[in-house]
Amino acid sequence: MPFVHITAINKEDEAQKCIILTHINEQHQITERGWFGYAKVGNKKYPFILQPCSNRLGKMELLYDDDTRYPTNILTKQIIIGEYFTVFDPPDEGRNEYLYQITNIYEY
């Protein structure tokens, strides 16, 4: 299966995007490795690492604060256009959830 460039839009604020460069397997799920991406908010970009953990929830680490991890359920989702995934605030920062929808997948 291919390496892909995923674009997802925040459903509450379409100016916020999540871009991930990754590999998908035969089940159209992200291969469990460390991958890279960035959150785009307006004209600013915030790089992160997407890394799996034992319960198949990934952790998004925004590199401007390497102690902060944002859990996401993207590793349990099929990477197809229209699929939704959620990014959660860290447990010590509240209980906000951010819903994203995959809008584009470019295969390399």
Using an 8 Å Cβ cutoff, are 6 and 105 in contact? yes
pLDDT at 100: 97
pLDDT at 24: 95
pLDDT at 18: 96
Using an 8 Å Cβ cutoff, are 35 and 20 in contact? yes
Burial of 37 (0-12, 13-18, 19+ CB in 10 A): buried
What's the average pLDDT block by block, 10 residues per block, for the chain (108 residues)?
94 94 94 90 90 65 67 90 92 82 96
Residue ranges of domains in the chain: 3-107
Which amino acid, 42?
G
Diameter of the chain measured on Cα atoms: 38
pLDDT at 61: 62
DSSP class of residue 26 equals T
State if pTM tops 0.85: yes
Which of 28, 3, 25 lies closest to 85 in space, CA to CA? 28
Measured CA to CA in angstroms, residue 81 lies from 6, 7, 86 at distances of 9, 9, 15
